[in-house]
Structure 1
Amino acid sequence: MTASDLPPRLGSLTFHGPLSEDRAGRMVARLAAASPATVLDIGCGWGELLLRVLESVPGATGVGLDINAEDLARGRDLAKERGLADRVEFVEESALGTSRGPVDAVLCLGSGQALCDPEQPYDPGAVLRELRRLVRPGGRVVLGEGFWERSPSEAELAAMWPGAHAGDHLELGPLVDLAVESGFRPAWIESASGEEWQEFESGYRHDTELWLAAHPDHPLAAETRERVDGQRSSWVNGYRDVLGIAYLTLVPVTGS
């Protein structure tokens, strides 16, 4: 069995999260206005936002950290296509306790778990403290973090990911308050729209759904179908319109 026999992975996504072109453009413009010389992307995937920041800030350099080799290879290919290969490094390593800071700008979009002890419950406070450690005075952090749009019901929690419970996320107000307590000022607060979520969730599975329709008897079809059906169900029957993603542009408080 060769790689071409396998179902495709995430080929219909530009960003690995519910993020539109328009919102990404505004984020990049705000970051570029601060003229960062060094950028660190935590859990970068293929680093689309990182590459766009580097394109917008001539001379800036960046490092993307992730543990998925396939995504990192895609990032390196994109960097070569855009003439950025000499200004960005995609590194396959854990971000836990990383020494690759401080830098002028830190991106952490939906990847806070990369900064937390995997043996402990997820802790957004620990994420924010690590981000504060990794950013230089006067720098910027863009954090994409899950939050509850409203309190989930027991039925909704049961339909989400295994072991989902109400303590998995904060609501938006407490999340922003926690960022302030962690030594930041929230320079910009926004959250993914319903349309951005739909584009992401559909795009996440689009190529694989097409593959399943065309290869129903493939040796990998049964396990792939079970996985994809479970992912889709957890969204449409569980966290749709309940789980949000906040995009916080944070500025460290001097001396904190």
Structure 2
Amino acid sequence: MTAATAPRDDLPPRLTRLTFHGPLSEARATAMVRRLAATRPADVLDIGCGWGELLLRLLAAVPGARGVGVDLNAADLERGRRAAEARGLAGRVEFAEESAVGTVRDPADVVLCLGASQALGDDPAGALRELRRLVADGGRVLLGEGFWQRVPTDAELSRMWPGASAADHHELSELVELAVAAGFRPEWTETANPDEWEEFESAYQADKEVWLAAHPGHPLAAGTQEHLDAHRTAWLTYRGVLGLAYLTLVPTTA
């Protein structure tokens, strides 16, 4: 390995403080895995899996089950592969760098889609129809999806993500109704609490904030600060306005 290709130890680390890429506590994750494992799935499909932490925990809880995680982020997928190897699960899981749009993957007994419905389409209704196609009869879908706890004001929207609109999310009741219309019954409805949100958002920023404090003159410092400050402004604006629902859905059969 030459000096030009050697890893840089002065670059900002990426998401090392996060266990899950979303506002999800250990207690809630444990309960979710327990409920899903009770259905004894033979196969699990994780859409927009990132590093697949919940996927790996579910496979560990169901000996013999096999899983596939689909994502476009190569670094996250490699983190998932390393975790699978460390936990003795490498032979039962595939982390695939591919798009989930129109995927021809076979229906699975459990489909996970946590904060990643955009990987299946532009709107939750279309994503839910895709999830119904991808789950086997008698299986389960665990969907993590944003919703408005209250409709944000125009001033609030202007401080969120670029182009933020009140049409970006539904209210929780509307989201559940969309799931029913797509061919599901809601077995379990729960929402991330403020502690889960604050832990996630703080951990999402923490690595780079600490790095920036120690490297103010680094060539990447200005861009890193701009990104951190913009995200913090958005978070502290949608705090208490944007919610995250976790819906455990049972497919209806004809």
Which TM class, normalised by the smaller chain length?
Answer: over 0.9
Shift of 1:6: 1.3
The aligned counterpart of 1:64 is 69
The equivalences for 1:79-94 within 5 A come to 79-94=84-99
Equivalenced residues, count: 249
Stretches of structure 2 lacking an aligned partner (at least 5 in a row): none
How far, CA to CA, are the matches of 1:204 and 1:188 in structure 2? 27
**What amino acid does structure 2 have at the position aligned with 1:151?**
V
Residue from 2, 9, 13 that aligns with 2:14: 9
Stretches of structure 1 lacking an aligned partner (at least 5 in a row): 117-121
The equivalences for 1:79-118 within 5 A come to 79-116=84-121
The aligned counterpart of 2:55 is 50
1:34 aligns with 2:39: yes
- The percentage of counterpart residues that share the same residue type is 67
How far, CA to CA, are the matches of 1:86 and 1:96 in structure 2? 26
The aligned counterpart of 2:190 is 190
The aligned counterpart of 2:25 is 20
The aligned counterpart of 2:158 is 158
The aligned counterpart of 2:217 is 217
The equivalences for 1:229-244 within 5 A come to 229-236=229-236, 238-244=237-243
Shift of 1:3: 3.2
**What amino acid does structure 1 have at the position aligned with 2:177?**
D
Shift of 1:156: 0.7
How far, CA to CA, are the matches of 1:57 and 1:31 in structure 2? 9
**What amino acid does structure 2 have at the position aligned with 1:156?**
E
Q: CA RMSD in A?
A: 0.8
The aligned counterpart of 1:119 is none
1:167 aligns with 2:167: yes
Shift of 1:128: 0.2
- Secondary structure in 2 matching 1:64: strand
How far, CA to CA, are the matches of 2:64 and 2:220 in structure 1? 45
Shift of 1:5: 2.3
Shift of 1:101: 2.3
The aligned counterpart of 2:247 is 248
**What amino acid does structure 2 have at the position aligned with 1:69?**
A
Q: TM-score, normalised by structure 1?
A: 0.96
Q: TM-score, normalised by structure 2?
A: 0.97
Shift of 1:193: 0.2
How far, CA to CA, are the matches of 2:240 and 2:33 in structure 1? 26
The aligned counterpart of 2:177 is 177
How far, CA to CA, are the matches of 1:97 and 1:232 in structure 2? 34
Deviations, residues 174-207 of structure 1 (Å, cap 9, x unaligned): 1001100110000000000000000000000111
The aligned counterpart of 1:202 is 202
How far, CA to CA, are the matches of 1:82 and 1:226 in structure 2? 37
- Secondary structure in 1 matching 2:91: coil
**What amino acid does structure 1 have at the position aligned with 2:19?**
T
**What amino acid does structure 2 have at the position aligned with 1:233?**
T
